[in-house]
Amino acid sequence: MLISGLVAGLAAGAASCAAVQGGFLIALHPAGARVLATFLGARVGAHAVVGAVLGLVGGALPMSPAVRAAVLVVAGVVICAHAVRRLRRGPSCAARAEKGTSRAAALGAATVLTPCGVTLSVELVAVSSRSAASGAVLLGGFALGTAPVLAALGLVVRVAARFAAIAGLVAGVVTVGAGLRLGGWLPELSSSAAAAQTVMGADRVQRITVWATDRGFRPGVVAVQAGDPVEITFRTAGNRGCTRTVAIAGRDVALPETGAVTVRVPGADLRYACGMGMYVGYLEIAHEPRNGRSPPGPAAL
């Protein structure tokens, strides 16, 4: 379990965790070696505790996508506030930063509340282990595997003061946007004219295949007819991005690195997102055929 967590953190989780959680490091700026070590240590400890809980309860209480979305929005607002504060104060508070170990510990532990897509996949493995020790070692090892990249980011942040504050503001805005997308709280921007069509089976189930890629879902919009259930088959082909975990119908679904997972949902409007809220897909309900004619055949996928 430890080796699996380390490998997942080093090979797949480092970049995505840095993208999602880097704003916490920027909020610590300027941070010395002691503050950075405290941040990383608290992060590993918090992940180990969460892993133990998930393994112990067998996954009965993971954070739902809606709760995670709200946490992302709050975290983004906090990161933006810290960034604005740094821009106003400048680098003059470097001497006091070394004393901020308690804040570093709090922010490091808080990163467990904003998991990246790869973290969610590892959490589901911890759930399936049904063992507190295995879950703790797996998630703790994962956090340890991502530590070198986050440590390097912390050093870069220390050198580039003004750039770090601006980057923190951008990271906060992106985090808020991800939370709004994950929670379905942004206005609908899709277009039915470009929607792909489902294939209706003899059992009156509408079926569509969606490819989960590292650049989003393809097709991103699917038109369905009202009243009939829908089966979405999410397929992957070596994808290591955040779309490996899909938040759909109020739950998280972990996709294999290569293969397919089928999810059955009612024939109605539905928005789904990757586990980080970065990419969104839609099912759009069509009560009547367009232009009074039968819907066109299935789009090429």
Among 73, 121, 145, CA closest to 239:
121
The reported pLDDT for the residue numbered 98 is 44
The reported pLDDT for the residue numbered 297 is 39
The reported pLDDT for the residue numbered 97 is 45
Calpha distance 174→193 (Å, rounded): 28
Delimit the domains of the chain by residue range.
2-183, 192-292
Instruction: Please provide the DSSP assignment of 234-251 as one string.
Output: EEEES--SGGGEEEETTE
The reported pLDDT for the residue numbered 164 is 62
- What pTM was computed for the model? 0.66
Torsions phi, psi for 277 (to 5 deg):
75, 15
Give, for all 301 residues of the chain, the pLDDT tens digit: 788 778 777 766 567 677 777 777 767 665 677 888 898 999 999 999 998 988 887 655 556 788 778 877 887 787 777 677 766 765 444 444 444 688 888 888 888 887 776 787 788 778 767 788 888 998 999 999 988 888 887 777 666 656 666 776 777 788 788 888 888 887 765 554 456 777 888 888 888 889 988 888 998 888 888 778 888 899 887 766 678 888 887 888 888 766 677 887 776 678 889 877 888 998 887 755 544 444 433 333 2
Among 185, 168, 25, 32, CA closest to 108:
25
Torsions phi, psi for 93 (to 5 deg):
-95, 20
Q: How far is CA 287 from CA 178, 221, 268, 290, 294, in A?
A: 30, 16, 10, 9, 12
First to last CA, the chain: 37
The reported pLDDT for the residue numbered 137 is 92
Tokens read off for 76: 């983004």
Calpha distance 277→31 (Å, rounded): 29
Instruction: Please provide the DSSP assignment of 137-200 as one string.
Output: HHHHHHHHHHHHHHHHHHHHHHH-HHHHHHHHHHHHHHHHHHHHHHHT-SPP---GGG-EE-EE
Query: Which CATH number does the domain 192-292 belong to among 1.10.3720.10, 2.60.40.420, 3.20.20.140, 2.60.40.10?
Result: 2.60.40.420
Tokens read off for 222: 């699917």
Given a contact cutoff of 8 angstroms between Cβ atoms, the answer to whether 181 and 277 are in contact is: yes
